[in-house]
């Protein structure tokens, strides 16, 4: 099969022929019809993820068709249209038994712990636990965005952030996760303030329901602007980009007893990220992490998509070929593009 491969961190990947994958006894091989280009993939390519072993094939946000199944798989068969959370759970550890597969103690992640979906085929573990059926009328490009960015934003806003109608929500970073969060929070009846450095991203945020858009390059303190716009601060704020400045600004945007959710991956898991804890103490703030969403939680999200309450298809603003993926991956180190870019490996 053809796949995007890099052999050194930060060095341009290349498309080459590699051996086809084979399913483990509890896994499947999926023919990849669409896979999203995500900032998390860039972090892996840049060397920020300790689980990656070189040479490596990135990609974790995918949709496609089951091609082959392992001997122990009972719930899936070849021809099934599926997507998968970027955290593939084992299904048997204490966290999985509690329903918290998104923090599985023995998790695997395509594109990180093993070769991923920037390829024509990808192997996925524990298929009966992790695969999610996608509706026949849903485009693969739309379904691919659900596995990471949209599902991650859905859980961060709805389950971890506990958004409520009438609340103020600030979203730092309007890439795929951030725009998803804007759309989901607005659909829940919240008043959203979107913050980004890109006019194009802010235009999309406005289109998806943001009540106010803040250009972070205008010289003003964005957290102060959020507090002013929301008459005292956001009830819920998300760092959807993942940087020390945006994490701190998100916390500083909150009103008393507000909730910060860290969604964006930070550049170094072991690095220092200064957070204004004095403010967190004084205002009794909640500082929360959010790490994807378990497969069993997808039905509620899929029902909102089916009803047209949320439109993840509108987030897909660019479709590229596998040959264009190496350059697009490297370019994510600069200003992230507006919307979601999807790779179609068979084009």
Per run of 10 residues, the mean pLDDT along the chain (length 347 residues) is: 98 98 97 94 91 96 98 97 96 97 96 97 97 94 89 97 98 94 98 96 96 95 98 97 94 98 80 87 97 95 93 93 97 75 96
- Per residue in 122-149, pLDDT (tens digit) is 999 999 999 999 999 999 999 998 878 9
**pLDDT value for 219:** 87
Please, what are the domains in the chain? 2-149+293-344 (3.90.180.10), 162-289 (3.40.50.720)
pLDDT (0 to 100) of residue 271? 63
Cα separation, 185 vs 190, whole angstroms: 5
For residue 273, the model assigns a pLDDT of 82
Distances (CA, A) of 175 to 20, 178, 241, 247, 325: 32, 5, 7, 15, 17
Q: From residue 163, how far is each of 1, 154, 186, 296 by CA, in Å?
A: 44, 10, 10, 21
191-202 per-position pLDDT tens digit: 999 999 999 999
In this prediction, residue 347 carries a pLDDT of 93
pLDDT at site 336? 57
Distance between CA atoms of 156 and 170, rounded to whole angstroms? 13
């Amino acid at each position: 099969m053809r796949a995007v491969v890099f052999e050194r961190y930060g060095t341009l990947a290349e498309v080459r022929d590699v051996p086809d994958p084979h399913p483990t006894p509890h896994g499947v091989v999926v023919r990849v019809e669409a896979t999203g280009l995500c900032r998390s993939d860039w972090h892996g390519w840049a060397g920020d993820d300790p689980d990656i072993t070189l040479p490596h094939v990135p990609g974790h946000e995918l949709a496609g068709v089951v091609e082959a199944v392992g001997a122990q798989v009972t719930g899936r068969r070849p021809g099934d249209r599926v997507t998968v959370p970027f955290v593939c759970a084992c299904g048997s550890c204490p966290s999985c038994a509690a329903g918290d597969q998104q923090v599985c103690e023995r998790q695997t992640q395509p594109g990180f712990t093993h070769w991923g979906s920037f390829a024509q085929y990808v192997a996925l573990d524990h298929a009966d636990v992790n695969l999610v059926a996608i509706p026949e009328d849903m485009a693969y490009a739309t379904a691919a965005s659900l596995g990471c960015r949209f599902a991650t934003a859905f859980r961060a806003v709805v389950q971890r952030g506990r958004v409520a109608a009438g609340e103020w929500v600030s979203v730092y970073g309007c890439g795929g996760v951030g725009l998803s969060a804007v759309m989901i929070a607005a659909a829940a009846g919240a008043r959203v303030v979107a913050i980004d450095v890109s006019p194009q991203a802010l235009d999309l945020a406005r289109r998806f329901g943001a009540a106010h858009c803040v250009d972070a390059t205008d010289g003003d303190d964005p957290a102060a602007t959020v507090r002013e716009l929301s008459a005292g601060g956001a009830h819920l704020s998300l760092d959807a980009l993942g940087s020390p400045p945006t994490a701190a600004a998100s916390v500083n945007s909150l009103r008393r007893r507000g909730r910060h959710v860290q969604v964006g991956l930070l550049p170094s898991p072991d690095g220092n990220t200064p957070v204004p804890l004095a403010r967190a103490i004084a205002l009794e703030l909640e500082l929360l992490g959010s790490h994807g969403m378990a497969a069993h939680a997808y039905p509620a999200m899929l029902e909102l998509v089916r009803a047209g309450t949320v439109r993840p298809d509108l987030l897909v603003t660019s479709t590229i070929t596998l040959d264009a993926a190496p350059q697009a991956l490297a370019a994510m180190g600069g200003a992230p593009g507006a919307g979601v870019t999807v790779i179609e490996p068979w084009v």
